[in-house]
Amino acid sequence: MESISLWQGLALCGIVSWIVISSSLNVTRKLRTLVQPWVSHHVITGTPMILQIQKYQHGFLDALFSGLSCVVSVPFYTAFLPLLFWSGHGKLARQMTLLMSLCDYSGNCIKDVVSAPRPRCPPVRRIIATKDEQENALEYGLPSSHTLNTVCLSGYLLHYVLSYTQSEDASLKFAGFAVACLIVCLTGLGRIYLGMHSVIDIIAGLAVGFVILAFWLSVHNHVDSFIVSGQNAPKSVSKT
């Protein structure tokens, strides 16, 4: 318990120190001044590529990418995550919940720091199918939250399934990896096709997503052990 208390104290001190230092030195404004013009330039210069992709406009593609955007959005996971708890996969549900929170917090922090615009509409055609998408269109662009979330959550889900089944079948691993890559690629392409993001937003979402996923895979067992052990866990929490 002493080591846990020490870890908690160090983490809290680190957070408070960062808040004080970043506020006193105006770190956010300096980073925005440095990065925003470069990102905005790439958003503008990437418009022709978006228009080129949108030339293949079709009702089926509109429905496909709009539906895919809903599947990887926060409202979907709000409904999906409780099903994992009810199905008995407590560890997966806990990890997916924490990972989604980390992804959303990190992505939105970067968006606020960079404050980069989304592709201008018009000339870009923006397809908004839900109220959630309408609210997303009012936010800053970089990084793409949908791409970031898809990389992290599909990657961790694949890791969990392979670990849970303990399969050594190379073809099964390859198939799972291929499906995860396909979902990530379709999500990124869909965000461009729908006019919600530029290419630089998707690249940033991929980069941030892989960094967060790599970090989470290195600490997720320690985090879950901390949650379900000692005085931190109610008696009803299962270690499955």
Residues noted as catalytic: 146, 197
Please, which contacts does 210-214 make with residues 24 or more away whose CB atoms are closer than 8 Å? 210/151, 212/99, 212/102, 212/103, 212/106, 212/148, 212/152, 213/151, 213/152, 213/155, 213/156
Q: How far apart are CA 97 and CA 224, in angstroms?
A: 12
What is the rounded distance in angstroms from the CA atom of residue 206 to the CA atom of residue 152?
9
- DSSP codes of every residue in 221-232: HHHHHHHHSGGG
Distances (CA, A) of 114 to 31, 34, 36, 80, 201: 7, 9, 5, 31, 11
